[in-house]
Structure 1
C-alpha cells in the first residue's frame, strides 16, 4: 500500500516536473497598411540673427527655401509584422512645407512595438528621400513617432502619436514637432480581442 502511494506520488511529481506549460504566443499583425495624416510646427531657428534680410544674396538663395511655421502631410506605408515587437514597412509621404514646397518622399519605416495586441505602444523610425521636383530637390528627412494603437475592429486599429521630424532642404532645414492620426488595416484577424471567437 505504501509502495503504491509512493509510486503514485512519484509519477505525479515527475509529470509536474517534466510537463511544460505552453505560454500563448504574442500576436502579430501580418501584412498591414497604415495611412496617417500629420500636422507639425517648425521648431528650427529659420533665420540667423546676423543675416541681412534685404540683401540680394538672402532674397535669391535663402528666402525661397525657408519653410513655413506649420506643415501638414499624409503618409501611406505598407509592411509586414513578422515578430511581435518588430515590423518593417515602406511607402510614400506627401508634405506641404511652404508655397512651392510640395514634397513627395519615398519612406522606409521600421516599427518597434511594445505590448502587442489590443493597445500596443509603438515607435516608428522614419527615413525619407524626395522623389519629385519642387522648389527644392534631393531633400530628405529623419523622423521619430511615438504613439499608441487602439483596436477598433477585427482587422482595424486607430492610432495617435507625437512626431518629431528633421528635414534637410537645399539651403535650409527645419525640425517639426507635431501630432499624427491614422488607422492600421492588418491581415491577422486574431491580432486583437475583436478577432477572438
Structure 2
C-alpha cells in the first residue's frame, strides 16, 4: 500500500471507532531500521491525526479524548452513559467528560442477559463491573489534590452510579475483578472478596 492509502484507511477507521473503544496501538512498534520492505514510517497515528484535522474531523476513541494533565473540578465534568447490545449482555459505558468532550474517567458495566449461559456460574444474577479507569497524574502520598482527575473521587462516583443502575435493572448483586492492590479500595465501597471476584449486595 502507498502511504496515502494506509493513512486513508486509518482516518476512516478512527472516525468510525465507537466512543467506548480505546485504540491503544494502530501500528506495530518496529524500528524503521528493521523494516526491510513495505511501509516504513513509525508515526502513523500522528500522520492520521494530522489528516483528520485537515479534513475537520476528529477521532472519538478514548485515547484521543483523555484529559492528560489538565486540572479540573467536578463542575467541569458531566456524567454520560452510552449503552449498546452484545449477543450475551447489555453494556453500559459510564464516563465523566468535560465540555470539550475530553474524558476524565470511565467505567464499563455489563448486564448479562437472563437467558445467557455464563461461563462462570458464580456470576449468575450479578451485574459486572469490567473496568474502572480515571485519568490524570498520580499524586505523592499525602499531597492534596489541585484538580488532578485521579484524586477527585471520580472512581467512587462511577462505582456508585453503576450500583444504582444495576439495582434499578433488577440485579441483587454486583461483581468486580479486583487486583490485590485495589481490594481495600473496593472494601471501602462495600465489596467483599467472593472467590475470584469481589461482590456487593445491592
> With structure 1 as the length reference, what TM-score do the two structures score?
0.26
> With structure 2 as the length reference, what TM-score do the two structures score?
0.26
More strand, by proportion: 1
More helix, by proportion: 2
